[in-house]
């Protein structure tokens, strides 16, 4: 999924269910920020009060902050990156099958996901819940693929219904993958291994797309491909958000204080139609903003209406500069006076708790 689904659709759904604006914003921002939290380590210039810091020799900071690797860099192809960032947050293993590669494929019925979701709901923490909604959404969108380098991610015979993909850039990439399959393998095969959904481009993340492909079953020494059948992203996305709605209703039942003023719009059919409307990814945000405004979920001047991937980072560090805080490792970071109460730090704590619980579960399952 992309920002239109992870942020704006989650934001709209929260408001439809009556969750107040502040909590809705934190849940939705956390859901999308999983894709944008790229800082791996922070070294502090001075230790902020009330924070749980890691000690690095004479320096203090925060470690394992990232929830998404930087795509198309050699460092993202390390097995550690795949198992510590891609798998838990974007391709949660479903534990299907008997072989390791099969168990690592993601599906929305993952027992790991269900256990982690229960913990998030009990906590009532909007950051924790938002992270789990991202994981759930990606489990629906990315199903059948895994975070690791695996033959099961090898694809051929890719095709799609042209009218279901609007963006020119998405059409060009998909057209290239389809028409120059052999050239793609020769040019990028050595630098783009068979991990995630890299060999089908962005098709899984386009809500309106309908497509098909053949995948390597990986069950014999000689390659054998199986047909995926028609993959209908509209059906997947609508099913995903039906489940997300159920999760949010359970959250409300457990923590009724998060409710705000009743909202005027309750027509779920209009939401489902908006969710899978064929628009380019570049236009998706503006279309969702119009939807939120038309249905009076937010006012035009509400900051939540405009997703900014650096908003939480900017508020957490006094010396914020985009160039500095887009690095994997940030040196001499100057935290804000109230750093321990910032959204960025709250998200970091939620992601760390989630990852610790995930590590425990995969260990018990015998994956690592």
| Alpha carbon 177 to its chain's center | 24
- DSSP assignment of 157-210, as one string? EEEE-GGG---HHHHHHHHHHHHTHHHHHHHHTTTS-S-TTGGGTTGGG-TT-E
Calpha distance 139→136 (Å, rounded):
5
| Alpha carbon 102 to its chain's center | 21
Give the residue among 284, 329, 286 at the shortest CA–CA distance from 305.
286
Distances (CA, A) of 145 to 95, 194, 197, 229: 12, 10, 6, 15
- Nearest-5° angle of CA 174, CA 133, CA 68? 60
Give me the numbers of helices (H) and strands (E) for the chain, helices first please: 15, 8
Which pLDDT belongs to residue 20? 93
Calpha distance 145→164 (Å, rounded):
22
The two tokens of residue 268 are 């779920």
Strands (E), the chain: 41-44, 54-56, 59-63, 155-160, 210-216, 225-227, 231-232, 329-333
- Burial group, residue 317, by CB count within 10 angstroms (0-12, 13-18, 19+): buried
Q: Are strands 155-160 and 54-56 parallel, antiparallel or unpaired?
A: unpaired
The per-residue pLDDT string of the chain (368 residues; one tens digit each, 9 = 90 and over) reads 999 999 999 999 999 999 999 999 999 999 999 999 999 999 999 999 999 899 999 899 999 999 998 875 655 667 778 888 999 999 999 999 989 999 999 999 999 999 999 999 999 999 999 999 999 999 999 999 999 988 888 888 888 888 888 877 776 766 666 665 555 555 555 556 777 887 888 889 999 999 999 988 877 777 788 999 999 999 999 999 999 999 999 999 999 999 987 765 667 888 999 999 988 878 889 999 999 999 888 999 999 999 999 999 999 999 999 999 999 999 999 999 999 999 999 999 999 999 999 999 999 998 87
Distances (CA, A) of 154 to 275, 346, 352, 363, 364: 29, 38, 32, 27, 29
- Burial group, residue 131, by CB count within 10 angstroms (0-12, 13-18, 19+): buried
Residue corresponding to tokens 């359970």: 250
Calpha distance 5→194 (Å, rounded):
26
- Burial group, residue 78, by CB count within 10 angstroms (0-12, 13-18, 19+): exposed
Do 215 and 152 touch, CB atoms closer than 8 A? yes
């Amino acid at each position: 999924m992309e920002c239109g689904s992870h942020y704006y659709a989650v934001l709209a759904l929260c408001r439809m269910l009556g969750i107040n604006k502040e909590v809705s914003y934190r849940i939705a921002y956390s859901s999308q920020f999983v894709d944008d939290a790229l800082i791996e380590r922070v070294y502090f210039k001075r230790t902020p009060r009330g924070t749980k810091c890691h000690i690095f020799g004479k320096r203090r900071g925060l470690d394992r902050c990232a929830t998404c690797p930087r795509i198309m860099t050699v460092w993202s192809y390390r097995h550690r990156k795949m198992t510590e960032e891609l798998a838990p947050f974007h391709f949660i293993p479903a534990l299907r099958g008997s072989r390791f590669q099969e168990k690592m494929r993601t599906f929305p019925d993952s027992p790991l996901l269900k256990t982690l979701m229960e913990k998030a709901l009990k906590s009532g923490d909007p950051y924790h819940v938002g992270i789990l909604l991202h994981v759930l959404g990606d489990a629906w969108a990315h199903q059948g693929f895994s975070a690791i380098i695996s033959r099961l991610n090898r694809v051929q015979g890719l095709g799609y219904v042209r009218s279901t993909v609007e963006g020119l850039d998405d059409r060009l990439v998909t057209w290239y993958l389809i028409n120059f399959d052999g050239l793609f393998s020769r040019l990028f095969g050595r630098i783009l291994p068979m991990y995630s959904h890299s060999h089908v481009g962005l098709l899984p993340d386009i809500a309106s797309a309908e497509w098909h492909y053949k995948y390597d079953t990986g069950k014999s020494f000689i390659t054998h491909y199986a047909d995926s059948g028609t993959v209908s992203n509209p059906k997947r996305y609508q099913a995903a958000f039906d489940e997300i709605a159920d999760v949010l209703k359970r959250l409300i039942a457990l923590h009724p204080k998060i409710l705000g003023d009743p909202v005027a719009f309750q027509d779920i059919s209009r939401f489902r139609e908006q969710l899978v409307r064929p628009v380019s990814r570049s236009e998706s945000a503006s279309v969702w903003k119009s939807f939120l405004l038309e249905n009076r979920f937010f006012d035009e001047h509400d900051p939540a209406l405009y997703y900014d991937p650096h908003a939480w980072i900017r508020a957490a560090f006094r010396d914020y500069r985009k160039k500095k805080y887009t690095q994997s490792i940030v040196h001499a970071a100057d935290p804000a006076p109230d750093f321990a109460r910032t959204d960025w730090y709250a998200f970091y704590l939620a992601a760390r708790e989630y990852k610790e619980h995930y590590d425990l579960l995969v260990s018990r399952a015998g994956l690592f």
